[in-house]
Amino acid sequence: MQLALFDLDNTLLCGDSDFAWAEFLIGKGVLAEAAQRAKNRKFMADYEAGTLDMDEFLTFQLAPLAAHPRATLEVWHDEFMATKARPMISEAARAKVEEHQRAGHLCALVTATNSFVTGPIAREFGIAHLIATIPACGQGAFTGKARGIPAFQAGKVTRVEDWLEAQGLYWGSFTDTWFYSDSHNDLPLLEKVHHPVAVNPDARLARIAAERGWETMTLC
């Protein structure tokens, strides 16, 4: 049995779905432009620097979900997929996922971005398993809080292991494992697999990949 794990933002997507979703809401007038755009850019810079305060970020990221009915959010997301998300998907990214699927590998998307934003994107790739930060719900509406451990940094390893255990599997169940990522924030999971692959890597990950002889590629 073989396992292929894929990061999403700047890996399978030629861009960041978190950032793009916030910018989309700003463009629709749902979020105030000046303050929200500044925060959005600050969080992106913090993420790239490896200094992101995940609790603070999730408060920002999940607040719009709690402020609007689920039906309205779904309509907006359909528009977001058509105008923002699908244009960020390259043929090379689709082909890489399909390569593993054709080989019969167990595939999962593993992303810090919340599952409301990323669920339709996983389905667009035909990836059945999504391991993402989970926005909490109550009485059919989002609460603005996260449920459980965010799928971020070492949390990705924990969430993947929980997912495997729920299926009666563990790392030793696989003869080969892959993880594709662009970010040094994903080093904990990259270091768990047999085949870590740096995709469109940031400067720190590119340096580490070169030092350790990891495969490097671009999907954009």
Res 41: pLDDT: 80
Calculate mean pLDDT across residues 192-219. 97
Q: Look at residues 163, 89, 172 and name the one whose alpha carbon lies nearest to residue 124.
A: 89
Q: Would you list the domain boundaries of the chain?
A: 2-217
Percentage with pLDDT > 90 across the chain: 74
117-139 pLDDT tens trace: 999 999 999 999 999 999 999 88
Residue 11 near residue 182, CB atoms below 8 Å? yes
157-173 pLDDT tens trace: 999 999 999 999 999 99
Listed in order, strand segments (DSSP E) in the chain are 2-6, 106-114, 129-138, 141-147, 176-181, 195-199, 215-217
Res 204: pLDDT: 94
Architecture of domain 2-217: 3-Layer(aba) Sandwich (3.40)
Calculate mean pLDDT across residues 18-46. 82
Res 55: pLDDT: 81
Calculate mean pLDDT across residues 182-193. 97
User: Tokens 């398993």 correspond to what residue?
Assistant: 129
- Is 186 noted as a catalytic residue in this protein? no
Instruction: Assess whether pLDDT exceeds 90 at residue 34.
Output: no
Res 60: pLDDT: 80
Q: Which of 7, 16, 182, 186 is catalytic?
A: 7
Category of 217 on φ-ψ map: left (φ > 0), alpha (ψ -120 to 50) or beta: beta
Res 33: pLDDT: 74
- Is 7 noted as a catalytic residue in this protein? yes
